[in-house]
Structure 1
């Protein structure tokens, strides 16, 4: 986030460590783990407007007036390009919300207001789309390794599937479940049971979910 702010020519100081009290700042943006937000916010002395970057944590963790700015993007240690990415924003009052919107726009993000009552559902959907995708692809790579191939052979397939889903939604679904080829589904389950038995429950749940989608 710091790199993105600097790239957008937003005047910043820091990053500041544990115990920073906000001295000299007009706005303090907390980029800390969810469980540390309330404690970090409590350290900020009256004056600066305080915000956090969590998608799952409520505004109440700030202990008073503040805002939320959550880029809907995975951010590795090397940073991320936020251009055109959606950002969930919220504020305890219109002025705080306006600051969140302005920061988002300065970063090239597309701000959308997510109500407090929808915040957890929004974040759970994000976890499905990103975190669980990595879990799923890692499971596929683990199984592919038993055939002597590495995860890179799966990358074009996974990318194409995601792009097709982006374009057409569930109509992008292909494969034996979509075709109703139960013999192949059974063969898949058997080889998974033989080679990576720990993946059978995941396979069963995914087959059931895919059948519902079909």
Structure 2
């Protein structure tokens, strides 16, 4: 069978991702049915995309009637494709945070996979319809891939929340930090960690670092452990940067 170019599909799961993915695909001209509930059996569709929590993927896949030519995909970053057996299966994980029922996927990365070349091609076609950049991730690499994504996104929010808590003790709001955070992320994306790192640890100014630690111990002592761990890793990064020709200034 030939791979569909931009397959129409049914979506299972009416949560944030299912709603946003369906709306974005429709806007891109793809025929979309749903989102359906988790008991949907796939009737009338050759491509079914499961946008359900990881723990519910197996049950949602089992509800779909297997038949020749039907492709079943999930949108999990960490879950191997074996959970979709016996279906011809694919993975489609947009590397984008979705906080509401809408999202712009254009330009974002997308982890793709398929148990057959036809299934993989369908995942690529769906990614291309939304102008996402596909990257094939093997089953054995999915947990590491998804952990990296969680560190980059979820842990960043946790880190900024810590900064906001400390800043609040001065009477200032997080708006003061936002341009700095944006510039730092852009610098990291453009030049890598070694070139993006600035600040007292990068300069070897341990006196200032000690004053930072004392202020945290006094005002937000619950953040001291986090600060110590991050400072240790930042010192290691600064040493790595200094050992390269393009080290920090």
* Fold shared by both chains (TM-score > 0.5): yes
For structure 2, list consecutive stretches of 5 or more residues without a partner in the other structure. 1-20, 239-249
Map residues 153-192 of structure 1 onto 2, 5 A cutoff: 153-170=176-193, 171-192=195-216
Q: TM-score, normalised by structure 2?
A: 0.84
Partner of 2:113: 90
Aligned to 2:65: 45
Question: How far does residue 172 in structure 1 lie from its aligned partner after superposition?
Answer: 1.2
1:91 Cα deviation from its structure 2 partner: 0.5
1:108 aligns to what? 131
2:97 to 67, 74, 79: 74
Indicate the residue corresponding to 2:234 in structure 1. 210
1:35 aligns with 2:55: yes
Q: Tell me which residue corresponds to 2:122.
A: 99
For 2:93 and 2:62, the matched residues in 1 are separated by 20
1:6-25 residue pairs with structure 2 within 5 A?
6-25=26-45
TM superposition score normalised by structure 1: 0.97
Question: SS of 2:113's equivalent?
Answer: strand
Task: Find the aligned partners of 2:85 and 2:101 in 1 and give their Cα distance.
Answer: 31
* CA–CA distance in structure 1, aligned partners of residues 170 and 154 of structure 2: 25
Secondary structure at the counterpart of residue 52 of structure 2: coil
Q: CA deviation at 1:33?
A: 0.9
1:54-82 Cα offsets, whole Å, 9 max, x none, are: 11111011122200001111122142211
Counterpart position of 2:82: 60
Deviation string for 1:117-138 (max 9, x for gaps)? 2111111111111111111001
Matched residue of 1:81: which SS?
Answer: coil
| Partner Cα distance (2:27, 2:220) in 1 | 46
> Quick one: distance in 2 between partners of 1:3 and 1:76?
14
More contact order relative to length (CA 8 Å, sep ≥ 6): 2
CA RMSD between the two structures: 1.0
Using the TM superposition, give the Cα deviation of residue 198 of structure 1 relative to its aligned residue in structure 2, in angstroms.
Answer: 0.9
Q: Distance in 2 between matches of 1:10 and 1:103?
A: 9
